[in-house]
Structure 1
Amino acid sequence: MTPLLIVGAGGFARETAQLVHAVNDVSPTWELLGHLDDDPAKHGAVVDGVPVLGGSDLAVKREDAQVVVCTGSPRDHTSRARIVARLGLPPARYATLVHPAASVSRTSTIGPGSVVLAQTVLTAAVTLGAHVSVMPHVTLTHDDVVEDFATLAAGARLAGAVRVGSGAYVGSGALVRETLTIGPYALVGMGSVVTRDVPAREVWAGVPARFLRPSTVPVPPFPSPGALT
């Protein structure tokens, strides 16, 4: 089995560990070594039966291991990009993890470092970039493009030919009309109904979604969309 390290020890990282167990139940694939977290207070802890081994820099030292970065929240949805930029690992070091209960069409593609959780559907010719997080019960329909480091929270649904920009966050239960664009680093609030393009670095929410304020999340230096795939 291939050694695997999960960067992060919060909710998303714990869900990813359970994904790994589910994959191994079907076909032994991964040797889950443990979590890595930059909070020293977590070092030595055991989270859902998985140890926290140390800081994220251990991912660089363990050259034999594949890595997946599982951090981020609506409050800071660009943390994955910052960690990946700091680690400087080549794309080949990053695992791509898909839950056995996800449905991924044969014409869809998923980039390195991306995580697709249970009950997600990618219907036809969906493109996920690198380090994309797709939470449970997300529906991505034909020709959707989700760029590097974007997050789709649980239950989000995208109609056809939607583009989600790098580092953007689409909140839980949000609906996005066909052919629209969610700009890089934008945030769409939970339960929103998006009927217009959302510009980069803005926060939109509501039914229909409307502009609330500029986004204040830090925008890290990292390669342009597609450069990591």
Structure 2
Amino acid sequence: MADVLLLAASGLARETIESIRQTGDHQVVGILDDNPALHGTVLDGVPVLGGLELASSRGEQLLLCMGKSAARAAAAMRLGLDEERYATHVHSSAFLARSTVLGAGSIVLAGCVATADVVLGRHAVLMPHALLTHDNQLGDFATLAAGAALAGRVRAGDRVYIGTNAAVRENLVLGDDAVLGMGSVLLQDLPAGETWAGSPAHKLYGPAAQRIATARVQEVQAR
């Protein structure tokens, strides 16, 4: 049982702690977070040891637990660590076909299914009961929220976010940094960097979409 550090004292970190405890594939020995107010505190029984800069000087394996895809990407770039430093975690109740490929740092929570020839990029996160069917490909830092379902031969790019209970038709492409809102039904390709929602899903316009776009630009500039 390898020791692991979780990076970010987040909701995803709490879910990962509980998933690892149930599965027993790792021992979570600490959390690293850049918020000084959290240093020395305890999250679900796990101590917050300090900032992310400690990761390079310690020997444990690591899991990025920032909930936002872009935040995980920014942390990985900042740390610049080799892939072998990162663990992968798959809950014992998940079903992953033998043909499934897991990128370094992937987190797969309870009840997820990958049926055949599914590829997950580095630091991808599957929340509970996400469903990936044959020949799906997820890019690096992609996130599928709880209950999201992809039909066959869907390709989702880097840092894609697919919301809770969203569904994607077969043979579609979601470009890098695309966002599909919760409960949406995607029937056509979703261009890179755009946010779509609804059934059928359509591009969001107006103040809400502008706030999302502005936040995404600020995240990129902060890297």
TM-score range, shorter chain: over 0.9
Aligned residue type for 1:11: G
Supply the distance in 2 between the matched residues of 1:189 and 1:58 (Cα, whole angstroms).
35
Counterpart residue number, 2:60: 65
SS in 2 for 1:78: helix
Counterpart residue number, 2:7: 7
After superposition, residues 18-167 of structure 1 pair within 5 angstroms as 18-24=18-24, 29-62=25-58, 64-73=59-68, 77-167=69-159
Contact conserved, 1:60 with 1:87, CA < 8 A, in 2?
A: yes
Counterpart residue number, 2:220: 219
Q: Deviations over 1:134-189 (max 9, x none)?
A: 10010000000001011101110000000111001000110000010111001100
Contact conserved, 2:10 with 2:67, CA < 8 A, in 1?
A: no
> How much does 1:221 deviate?
10
Aligned residue type for 1:69: L
**Count of residues in correspondence between the two structures:** 214
Supply the distance in 2 between the matched residues of 1:2 and 1:141 (Cα, whole angstroms).
30
> How much does 1:219 deviate?
3.3
SS in 2 for 1:219: helix
Q: Given the two structures, how large is their TM-score scaled by the length of structure 2? A: 0.92
> How much does 1:220 deviate?
7.0
Q: Deviations over 1:107-151 (max 9, x none)?
A: 111110010000000001100010001100100000000010111
The 1:22–1:220 alpha-carbon spacing in structure 2 relative to 1, beyond 3 Å, is: farther
Structure 1 residue runs without a partner (length 5+): 223-229
In terms of fraction of residues, the more helix-rich structure is 2
The two structures, once aligned, show a CA RMSD in angstroms of 1.5
SS in 2 for 1:19: helix
> How much does 1:35 deviate?
1.0
Aligned residue type for 1:15: E
> How much does 1:31 deviate?
2.8
Structure 2 residue runs without a partner (length 5+): none
The 1:221–1:96 alpha-carbon spacing in structure 2 relative to 1, beyond 3 Å, is: farther
Aligned residue type for 1:113: G
Counterpart residue number, 1:185: 177
Q: Deviations over 1:4-53 (max 9, x none)?
A: 100011110111111211221xxxx4232111111111111111111111
Q: More relative contact order in 1 or in 2 (CA 8 Å, sep 6+)?
A: 1
Counterpart residue number, 1:168: 160
Contact conserved, 2:100 with 2:119, CA < 8 A, in 1?
A: yes
Supply the distance in 2 between the matched residues of 1:168 and 1:97 (Cα, whole angstroms).
20
Supply the distance in 2 between the matched residues of 1:121 and 1:72 (Cα, whole angstroms).
20
Supply the distance in 2 between the matched residues of 1:171 and 1:46 (Cα, whole angstroms).
29
